[in-house]
A and B are shown apart, each in its own frame.
Chain A
Amino acid sequence: MKKHLNTLFVTTQRAYLSKASETVVVKVEGEVRLQLPIHTIGGIVCFGSVSCSPYLMGFCAEKGVALSFLTEQGRFLARVHGPVSGNVLLRREQYRWADDPVRSANMARYFIVGKIANCRTVLQRVLRDHSGKVEENGLRRTVILLGRCLERCNHESDLEVLRGIEGESAHAYFAVFDNLIVAQKDAFSFKERNRRPPLDNVNCLLSFLYTLLTHDARSALETIGLDPAVGFLHRDRPGRPSLALDLVEEFRPFLADRLALSLINLRKVQGRGFKVMESGAVKMEDDTRKAVITAYQERKQEEIIHPFLEEKTTVGLLMHMQALLMARHVRGDMDGYPPFVWK
């Protein structure tokens, strides 16, 4: 199994990474600073001027070790990955399904059910753990409404109707999202979701976390051999990783929204870490971005029981497992795709 392994972060400028038999060697100014067996590493992230031998790149690709290059501030530059997966039968079937409205609607329903169920759990958890600190009546009403949306999804096979239900539930969920912010209200208030560009601090934070999720979803799908660009709920659009966006849906509330809330509520990010540009668009300062990435990485190391497979795993491996389950469904092993649903 893919085990959750540690990620090697290389932040020392002008470090050089190379391969020596089954190990990764980190040299700084010609001196070996670190040597690790490759099978103990899940990923390598290089910040800034860090270089890497092509043999190590090939080795990482072969071993499924994610190798990424970021700027010193943590902005994504590039990722090294090996050849496209050879599972052509899987990809062909994926394309056939994407061309079939009934199959597409079915898949879309799984993603939407996962998303709505997890939105509902986010609200239920807040009601359970922070009762008294939040305005409860609105949250309760929304929980009931989301439950109804879930039931309406049950026997719906029309993609447009499903998209309508998804839109309605997202609208209801974001209408009470501001109630979940209980600290730093002056800097972090939320009215509605806006994306292109984000116009306030909360939206800026959410957008950045959704981007991180999409990167991970894309990687997971590519690793399994599915084409991240051909989706079911999200239709093809050149340059858009539609299937990655489909897979991200069930993870938005569980992983990104909750992380954004805890960063704000625990004061891990502050208003001064965001900047309003001349157009009104909001962007993150570098150290805020770094803090968010660090929090996201820490979150991914937490252990969790997979709700469908009932096996212990880590948050960071959930996407990989979901991509695998999706592939097994497309290849006819299973009677459906079980979205990750957090209780």
Chain B
Amino acid sequence: MMYSEDDPIMISALQHYVFCPRQCALIHIEQVWAESRLTAEGRIMHEKVHEEGNESRGSVRIARGLPLRSLRLGLVGVADVVEFHGTGKGAWQPLPVEYKRGKPKFDLSDAVQLCAQALCLEEMLSIVVPEGALFYGKTRRRTDVAFDEALRRETEETASRTRDLISGGVTPPPVYTKRCKNCSLVAGCMPKAIAKQRPVTRYLAAVTKEI
């Protein structure tokens, strides 16, 4: 099964989906994007990375802002940084590096996003990409990520679930958790108000009754 170029989903949507399917729906179905301080900082960091252009350091060539796609998974996106390591026989081994402004997360969202980039590179360059790296702005740490069978399967399943969600056009109801506090879309999502049972009916009953 191959997807056409006309109807791809963004690689970033996978990360949104892993964090919260409703957030993914709000961004990719409802086109809501609240520019919060966090996303602004993230954007500036990405812009900086993309503006730096390409460079070579010894046997490593660094490509920035690389457009990616996978017809097999129906994904498009842009890689912040892909390092091409010389293997000495005139061949180059790509290694995607994704920059995050925060600190390492407990869920797989960053790893899934990175793995999706690797799957795109594999399809576009007909080469195996065994690993990548995540760089976190807060800890200034670089973490290596191995694209093992489990992560690849997780990424492909996430891509297919994300596609079903977005093409279905239905925004799932909110579930309020402590993660909501760090979500830039919390105001537009209104998880607390919406999660109540028949909130508007009760509110209006109080309004229209005799005072």
Binds A, one of B32-40, B54-62, B135-143: B32-40
In angstroms, Cα B207 to Cα A154, docked, is 10
Task: Give the B interface residue count (CB, 8 A).
Answer: 30
Chain B residues lying within 8 Å of A117, measured Cβ to Cβ, are 207-208
In angstroms, Cα B204 to Cα A334, docked, is 13
In angstroms, Cα B185 to Cα A328, docked, is 13
Minimum distance in angstroms from B40 CB to a CB of chain A:
7
Contact of B169 among A89, A154, A329 (CB under 8 A): A89
Minimum distance in angstroms from A321 CB to a CB of chain B:
9
| Pairwise interchain contact A1-B31, C-beta atoms closer than 8 A | no
List of 9 A-B pairs having minimum Cβ-Cβ separation, nearest first:
A1-B187, A336-B200, A86-B31, A150-B208, A87-B31, A338-B200, A335-B198, A338-B203, A341-B207
What is the 8 Å Cβ interface bit string for chain B, positions 165-204, against chain A (1 contact, 0 not)? 0000111011000000000001110100110001111011
- A308: Cβ under 8 A from any B Cβ: yes
Q: How large is the interface on A (under 10, 10 to 19, 20 to 34, 35 or more residues)?
A: 35 or more
In angstroms, Cα B26 to Cα A324, docked, is 12
Contact of B30 among A153, A307, A308, A331 (CB under 8 A): A331
Minimum distance in angstroms from A209 CB to a CB of chain B:
24
- B44: Cβ under 8 A from any A Cβ: yes
- A-B pair count, CB < 8 Å, reads 82
Decide: A336 near B35, CB < 8 A? Known: A150-B207, A328-B194: no
Chain A residues lying within 8 Å of B171, measured Cβ to Cβ, are 331-333
Contact of B211 among A89, A147, A328, A331 (CB under 8 A): A147
| Pairwise interchain contact B190-A324, C-beta atoms closer than 8 A | yes
Minimum distance in angstroms from A100 CB to a CB of chain B:
19
| Pairwise interchain contact B193-A308, C-beta atoms closer than 8 A | yes
Chain B residues lying within 8 Å of A336, measured Cβ to Cβ, are 200-201, 204
In angstroms, Cα B186 to Cα A43, docked, is 22
| Pairwise interchain contact A324-B30, C-beta atoms closer than 8 A | no
In angstroms, Cα B187 to Cα A91, docked, is 20
- B210: Cβ under 8 A from any A Cβ: yes
Residue of B nearest to A120 (CB): B211
- A237: Cβ under 8 A from any B Cβ: no
| Pairwise interchain contact B30-A154, C-beta atoms closer than 8 A | no
Residue of B nearest to A313 (CB): B187
Chain A residues lying within 8 Å of B200, measured Cβ to Cβ, are 308, 329, 334-338
What is the 8 Å Cβ interface bit string for chain A, positions 1-30, against chain B (1 contact, 0 not)? 110000000000000000000100000000
Chain B residues lying within 8 Å of A124, measured Cβ to Cβ, are 211
Residue of A nearest to B35 (CB): A63
Minimum distance in angstroms from B60 CB to a CB of chain A:
30
Contact of A89 among B30, B35, B203 (CB under 8 A): B30
Chain B residues lying within 8 Å of A64, measured Cβ to Cβ, are 35
Residue of B nearest to A89 (CB): B169
In angstroms, Cα B30 to Cα A117, docked, is 32
| Pairwise interchain contact B29-A89, C-beta atoms closer than 8 A | yes
Chain A residues lying within 8 Å of B188, measured Cβ to Cβ, are 324
In angstroms, Cα B210 to Cα A49, docked, is 54
